Chain A
Amino acid sequence: MLLSLRNVRKSYTTAEGRLEILKGIDLDLDGGESVALTGESGSGKSTLLHLVAGLDHADAGEIVSSGRSLATLDDRRRAEYRRTAVGLVFQHFNLIPSLDVGANISFHAKLAGRHDPAWERELVELLGVETLLARYPEQLSGGQQQRVAIGRTLAAKPPLVLADEPTGNLDEATGDIVLNIMLSLTKSTGAALLLVTHSTRLAQMLDRSVHLRGGRIA
């Protein structure tokens, strides 16, 4: 089992008081498996993804990823977990604006100590961004930026890819192309994929789908 969540709970304090987002989530994911996480706005999809990514702490329950129980990790190990065990793709791409496309793609892999120039070249070709390497993020279209973001994630060969609405900022045709690339590449690298989406159509393209409602898996 690559990822295991048991009775995971998370709440936030808001102006209206304590707001419970996740009310006991159980979820398992095997290596190479792709799972869609669906649900309405505010159902806790992104929160769950952030907890699995080690970006945030669960209030209760246990998350075990790549053999690590995230609750037991201190700040340094949590950072190391983010560097080596997960790859993140965001709706707003979140590329590093000061680096060109080539440097953006190799950035995470170098941080993770898994820089593989041959694999990067292959990825660049597969993503169709070989002519964009010297450009900066602000010079790219949304679809191009998302392809670069996927390249950055997969270049680091993470065992688990977490994608938060990766096509949410793209038109349908471009979104389909990007998702297909992501699915085929995660399959080819044997990485598991947990993908947050609003779209039932996109969710059907993955191995299985998990629906969140009111902080619980429906």
Chain B
Amino acid sequence: MLLIAATALLSHWRRRPLQLATFILGLSLATALWSGIQAINTEARASYARAASMLHQSELMQLLPRNGNSIRQSTYARLRRAGWNVSPVIEGDHRFGNTRVRIIGIDPLTMPAKAGRFEAGGVSDLAAFMSEPGVLMVSQVTALKLEGHTQMQLRISSDMPEGAGFADIGIAERILEKRGELTRLVVAPEQRPDLPSLDMLAPDITIKPSGERPDVAQLTDSFHLNLTAFGFLAFAVGLFIVYATIGLAFEQRRATFRTLRSLGLSLSSLTLLLMAELLVLALLAGFIGVVIGYFVASLLLPGVAATLQGLYGASVPGTLSLRPEWWTTGLAIAVAGTIVSSAQSLWRVHRMPLLSSAQPRAWARASAMGVRIQVLGGLVLLFASAILATFGQGLAAGFAVLGSLLLGAALILPGVLSACLAVMQKHSSRALVTWFWADTRQQLPGLNLALMALLLALAANVGVGTMVSSFRLTFIDWLDQRLAAELYVTAREENEASRLRAWLPAHSTSVLPIWSVEGEVLGDRLQIFGAAADDRTYRDRWPLLLGTADVWDRVAMGQGALVNEQLWRRKGLAVGNDLTLPGGWEIPIVGVYSDYGNPKGQVIVGIDTLTTHYPNISKLRYGVRIPPADAPALRRLLTSEFGLPAENIIDQAALKRQSRAVFDQTFAVTGALNIFTLGIAGFAMFSSLLTLSGIRLPQLAPVWAMGIRRRDLALLEVLRTLVLWLATFAAAIPVGLALAWVLLSIVNVEAFGWRLPLRIFPMDWLILGLVALGAAILSVFLPLRRLSTIRPADLLTVFANER
């Protein structure tokens, strides 16, 4: 009985292969983007954990300098003598040719075995590792970049993240010019009992517990949340297709359901069969979705890796591994999506009385009351969004604002469109025009879901596009101001830096040292820069968000510090607050500066103040001010006088070019996601129009019979689609702008720590409008072809008495 009933139910899909394809494709696309993004997130997180474990020995407790300076070798020696089993690490960046590499110098003899996957191999290997010119363990990609730029022997390790390398601590000390300054100490898990306390032995050291989440993982949380939100949006848009298709398939089978039940199939068996059918289809679509998702992820991963590198300096490999957790999640989300999309239809079947009319109801015709409830629900959500935007706190609240804004706008769209069409109908007098508006209104219930999906996709495009463009424009303005020096010069070592300091003033307008120290401020590790604040450059070119009138004078005199926007917002600081800097000295905040693109907090003090408190800082980098026309000559002179390689002298234009390139790469993935979402919405529209074109004949045939040509009817169909697309597009612009405002004023502030002004880009809307128009024409093409080539004989079947 069950088998026969199942055959009868499944015959529906055999007779309507297009409907089946729409269901499978809709769910597959929805799952694809979702699981693709999950794959990327999983890969990135695994990469952070791998890098943290490998490079920073995050599985072990660490000792760090409390005051931002390095740990002295004497401290290390004292700890060892007292019985502490600790191993020293020296860390720093070094440039080999054009490639900057993070060098981690370790002591292979004292490094705990659990500290990573460093295997020196045999005694001869160890000897080679520890003696000049040394061995650098790097990834394959890094090795290729370094070839010919170093005397060191390059050894490839598959576990090494890109852009980093292990070396012996002695070799690293020489390369990085650290002169006995240790960056940190790794504490072995096995320690003798009754060791003297660290507070007593080394009061200038702070403990970092083992197993802490890597900094980069915490920094990138918001980015991955953004990606997940985008994936969820695309998933929701795809579910609209699935919901509409399941609804139609169930309505069309109402007669079959009644017949099966009349023939003795119990309600529970029928429900069970339908659920089994949906489960099989969901698993099939989920499997296809996961496969597509893998390719989507492979396609997007290089862009995401570039974004993570550009925004956070996080290194993620550009290759993807097949992880069971994400493909099982992909299948699960496909099944969950199908359950959500079919719940209403299944419930209706479950409640359908045995003797109910088998006449299919207008499958998607919402009652006037239904539309009113939907509009009311939408208004409630918009109101909730406004309340959350005003009083909410945190990133989760930001996303809740976004979600309720988008969903609320989508829910009120059908009501608004219907009202507009009713007004147009009321104000038209020509019969065909009146019919056009009335007929368009009648088609709305069938197109509602597709139009709502389209609104979501377009609003996301407008919103995210506006956010990115606003960011880009602000960033470029800020770069133009901030990158004031005509040349940026980096000495190779301290002696050369000292010679440069003596030589440069005579050959330039002014010299701006770019020196910094890293340390703990308000519980976070961040950089403290020194600025030659008495130089006019800072007064003229440094954009401040807040500041006292004499801000630069006070910084120059050592009476005040500046903090960047990120630190100011995250810590709730105010001008006038005292800031305790590494070493325990205090200084009042006199201003706040914008610092786009930097995920971390930052402090600026006067250059003399910096060198007084941290005399051992590296003094290698300088900004040089000269008339722009003289820059090339100075560059040549620097090369001839000091033999500085080209990569150590960067001109302003090149630096701006690099920064812009990083920025554009950063948001490449957003553009790709936008296109994917729009593509899914386009498919939703296509499937809805195709479904409608199949049930349009009874509505069009009488009009044709009364003297309107098929060609004209087809043209009116195109016009109808364009009118609905245009109306939805027009509605998407204010929704998108609201979305952009939320992103710029709430989400970005929470996620990155900076707030950007909203700027308007009508040309971008025009381009998006043209893309949407292209998609509209594509979506209507097949249904239109079906309609315009329909034979009179088919139209006559509408009037036939023996139907």
Contact = CB atoms under 8 A, between A and B. Distances in A.
A207 to B, nearest CB: 23
Contacts of B711: 75
Contact of A94 (B701, B707, B802): B701
Given A76-B709, A110-B430, A96 B703 contact: yes
B707 A88 contact: no
Contacts of A56: 792-793, 796
A55 B431 contact: no
Interface in A68-83: 75-76, 79-83
Residue among B439, B702, B792, B793 with the highest chain A CB neighbour number at 10 A: B702
Contact of B801 (A76, A95, A168): A168
Contact of B705 (A55, A57, A112): A55
Given A56-B792, A56-B793, A80-B707, A99 B438 contact: yes
Can you list the 9 inter-chain pairs with the closest CB atoms, starting with the nearest?
A83-B707, A110-B431, A98-B442, A98-B438, A82-B707, A94-B702, A98-B439, A79-B709, A79-B707
Given A12-B793, A82-B705, 11 more contacts: A46-B799, A56-B796, A79-B709, A80-B707, A83-B706, A84-B707, A88-B706, A88-B799, A90-B799, A94-B702, A110-B431
B431 A94 contact: no
A196 B272 CA distance: 50
B360 interface: no
A46 B800 contact: yes
A91 interface: yes
B441 A98 contact: yes
A97 B708 contact: no
A91 B706 contact: no
A46 B431 CA distance: 28
Contacts of B709: 75-76, 79
Nearest to A95: B702
B435 interface: yes
Interface of A: 12, 41, 46, 50, 53, 55-57, 75-76, 79-84, 88, 90-92, 94-99, 103, 106-108, 110-112, 164-165, 168
Nearest to B434: A103
Contacts of A94: 698, 701-702, 705, 798-799
Contacts of B792: 55-57
A124 B435 CA distance: 20
B210 interface: no
Interface in B695-722: 698-699, 701-703, 705-711
Contacts of B801: 46, 91-92, 164-165, 168
A108 B702 CA distance: 10
Contacts of B702: 94-96
B706 A107 contact: yes
A165 B799 CA distance: 10
A12 B709 CA distance: 23
Contacts, number: 89
B432 interface: yes
8 contacts: A56-B793, A79-B707, A97-B442, A98-B435, A98-B439, A98-B441, A111-B431, A165-B801
B574 interface: no
B416 interface: no
A75 B709 CA distance: 7
A87 B706 CA distance: 8
A106 B430 CA distance: 10
Contacts of B795: 55
B434 to A, nearest CB: 6
Contacts of B430: 110
Contact of A111 (B699, B701, B708, B802): B708
B616 to A, nearest CB: 83
Nearest to A168: B801
Contacts of B793: 12, 56
Interface string B785-803: 0000000110110111111
Nearest to B439: A98
B432 A99 contact: no
A203 B48 CA distance: 89
Contacts of A79: 707-709
A111 B429 CA distance: 11
A111 B438 contact: no
A50 to B, nearest CB: 6
Contacts of B442: 97-98
A94 B798 CA distance: 8
